[in-house]
A = this chain, B = another copy of it.
Amino acid sequence: MSTQTVPSTTPASSPTTATLLDAAPFRLPRQPTERQLLAKYFRAFGDATRLHILELLADGELSVSEIVAQVNSSQPRTSAHLACLRWCGFVTTRRAHRTVYYRLADERAREMLELARAMLSGNAEHVAACRTLGGC
């Protein structure tokens, strides 16, 4: 009744909306495999703007408007990215008056970034030679 509608810990999924969701253009099965969830997880990291946000939050708590000011993306778009990161449990929020503050919720998100950076260093040129955003 108070949560921001998007990521409560376990969305209630009222039977009414459940039917609507089945018709929606989503296609993660009701009972996804661990592998499918892992893929979803990695995709959350697979966007430059979301990575930027995570990097900013790695240095401490920030409000939405502060994030918008530093990321090269509109406020609505940034908000959607934040919601995405929240679903995945990478960040949490705290509300102070009208402004909402985001911060890292899982130290392992930072480890992910560091591990990926370590893997990238050395063969960055090779990776860059394949000029797609992802996939191949």
Contact = CB atoms under 8 A, between A and B. Distances in A.
Given A28-B133, A129-B13, A124 B37 contact: yes
Nearest to A24: B131
A64 interface: no
The dominant DSSP class at the A interface is helix
A69 interface: no
Interface string A25-52: 0111001111111111111111110111
Nearest to A130: B87
A1 interface: no
Interface centre among A26, A37, A106 (most CB of B within 10 A): A37
Interface residues of A, number: 65
Interface of A: 7, 9-11, 13, 21, 24, 26-28, 31-48, 50-52, 55, 80-81, 83-84, 87-89, 106, 108-109, 111-113, 115-120, 123-136
Given A24-B131, A43-B133, A111-B115, 19 more contacts: A7-B130, A10-B129, A32-B128, A34-B117, A35-B55, A37-B127, A38-B45, A38-B48, A39-B50, A40-B127, A40-B134, A42-B43, A42-B45, A42-B46, A45-B46, A46-B46, A84-B135, A84-B136, A109-B119
